[in-house]
């Protein structure tokens, strides 16, 4: 059985998709971008955007009844691979050992022209 997860503590879906879905004890998030859900603002700079995106993601996982500590796989999409080191440092603040498996790819463009987007698969 599929259960849709949503929260106002993460950016609302801007298309025909769910913020997250739970299936068989696993939570699959959509890509989360660094929009402040209270104001709709996007912070300036890659570090501020990374912190906002990870905060949004944490809030979404919490709404699903799980946490960043239960993440088993992440995918990080970044606008500029030269920002990898900065994003990686902030990533390490939100995920603890044992770290989830991860893919990180540079992309040409992201929604709202943000600098990164992240999605997670987590245990419930």
Domain locations along the chain: 2-123
List the catalytic residue out of 26, 63, 69, 104. 104
**CA nearest 79: which of 53, 41, 40?**
53
Contact in structure between 43 and 26 (CB atoms under 8 Å): no
**CA nearest 2: which of 39, 27, 30, 35?**
27
Q: Could you tell me the pTM of the whole model?
A: 0.96
Domain boundaries 2-123, corresponding CATH code = 3.30.1330.40
- pLDDT class for 103, splitting at 50, 70, 90? very high
Contact in structure between 36 and 42 (CB atoms under 8 Å): yes
**What pLDDT does residue 11 have?**
94
Kindly state the average pLDDT of the residues 4-25. 96
Known catalytic residue: 104? yes
What radius of gyration do the chain's Cα atoms show? 13
**CA nearest 28: which of 7, 53, 3?**
3
**CA nearest 77: which of 106, 46, 99, 51?**
106
């Amino acid at each position: 059985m599929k259960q849709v997860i949503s929260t106002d503590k993460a950016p609302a879906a801007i298309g025909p998709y769910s913020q997250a879905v739970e299936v068989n004890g696993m939570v699959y998030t959509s890509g989360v971008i660094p929009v402040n859900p209270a104001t709709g603002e996007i912070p300036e700079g890659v570090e501020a955007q990374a912190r906002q995106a990870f905060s949004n993601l944490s809030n979404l996982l919490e709404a699903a009844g799980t946490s960043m500590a239960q993440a088993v796989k992440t995918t990080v999409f970044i606008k500029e691979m030269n920002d990898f080191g900065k994003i990686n440092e902030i990533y390490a603040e939100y995920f603890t050992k044992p770290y989830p498996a991860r893919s990180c790819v540079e992309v040409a463009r992201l929604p709202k022209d943000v600098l990164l987007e992240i999605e997670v698969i987590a245990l419930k």
